[in-house]
Amino acid sequence: MRPAVLLFAALLAAPLQAQTTVDQRRPAAPDGVVDVENMAGSIRVTGWDQAEIAVTGTLGRRASGLEMSGGPNRTHIEVEVEGNPHDARSDLDIKVPAGSRLRIEGFDATITVTGVTGAVQAETVNGSITVTGGAKDVNLQAVNGGIEVVKASGRISAESVNGSVTVRDCTGDLEASTVNGPLLVTGGAFESIRIETVSGSLRFESALSKRSTLEAETVSGSVDLLVPADVAADFSISSFSGDIVNDLGPAPPRQSRWTHEKELSFSSGGGGAKVNVQTLSGDVRLRKRP
């Protein structure tokens, strides 16, 4: 075979040899701490009923190996990189005991957690974060990527700069925010809710008990609140230059004589939950949930 042909064949084969397959296991406690670091690629964590952690997947061409250290109560998993971590895009599939407490860190990485009932803390810069399946106490942060939380409970914190935040069928106390993306809270029930955006829209259609407190704030985004027609709540709504539409009752908004500011205060169902909404230039609409 000619040298040029050999060189061409080697170049074609190089990408196939660039990635390394990993398959590691170690014993783990049912509620141990699991730390995961993978700067680029994907991290998928699944809870299971086995008393061990199993890591499979592929390491990128710049990755020097996979470190898996610690004991049953605390396990550290890290993709080790030589040079720029962006050149080491690695994909990890990790199975952990369902009650594990997770701490996940990425940079250019997509993070997915399913079936974990312990606490989940995760952050990434360029990538989405999705947590489903009963996690208790969740703290998620992304810069350029969306966040979705489903069926979590306890203290829930979700924050994205340039991405959407979606919270579905959760319970407990919620703090959620975006800068440019939409924020949606649907289903479930909360005692304390604080949601805010800068230019994104807010939509809330979850249950409110008489003890609930809801604080919603935007700069230029709109706010939609969908609540039962017989909700027991005290409402305080204000918008500096946006409109306020109230489908819940006869109380009309009051407009300032000196500015464009509009205010709306009223009670429904005898009062109870405290609902406070503020926008600068965004519209606010209170609607009856079907």
pTM for the model stands at: 0.89
Strand partners, 263: 238, 254
Q: Report the DSSP beta bridge partners of residue 268.
A: 233
CA 272, distance to chain mean position in Å, is: 29
Residue spans of the domains in the chain: they are 23-123, 164-290
Q: Which two tokens stand for residue 263?
A: 């205010």
The backbone region for 270, taken as left when phi is positive above 0, alpha when psi lies in -120 to 50, beta otherwise, is left
Q: Render each residue's pLDDT in the chain as its tens digit; 290 residues.
A: 454 444 444 444 444 445 789 999 999 999 999 999 999 999 999 999 999 999 999 998 888 899 999 999 999 999 998 777 666 899 999 999 999 999 999 999 999 999 999 999 999 999 999 999 999 999 999 999 999 999 999 999 999 999 999 999 999 999 999 999 999 999 999 999 999 999 999 999 998 988 999 999 999 999 999 998 888 999 999 999 899 999 887 666 666 655 667 899 998 888 899 999 999 999 999 998 87
Q: How far apart are CA 128 and CA 144, in angstroms?
A: 8
Nearest to 171 by CA among 190, 195, 184: 190
pLDDT at 270: 85
pLDDT score of 115:
97
Q: Distance (Å, rounded) from C-alpha 210 to C-alpha 231?
A: 9
The per-residue pLDDT for 198 is: 95
CA-nearest of 85, 83, 137 to 106 is: 85
The whole-number pLDDT of residue 8 equals: 43
What string of H, E and C letters represents the secondary structure of 156-213? EEEEECCCCEEEECCEEEEEEEECCCCEEEEEEEEEEEEEECCCCCEEEEEEEEEEEE
Task: Encode 53-114 in three state secondary structure.
Answer: EEEEEEECCCEEEEEEEEECCEEEEEEEECCCHHHCCEEEEEEEECCCEEEEECCEEEEEEE
pLDDT for 13: 45
Position 200, amino acid: G
- The values of phi and psi at residue 12, to 5°, are -65, -35
Q: Are strands 74-81 and 63-71 parallel, antiparallel or unpaired?
A: antiparallel
Any idea what the Cα angle at residue 218 is, between residues 226 and 127, rounded to 5°?
A: 90
Answer whether 136's CB lies under 8 Å from 173's CB: no
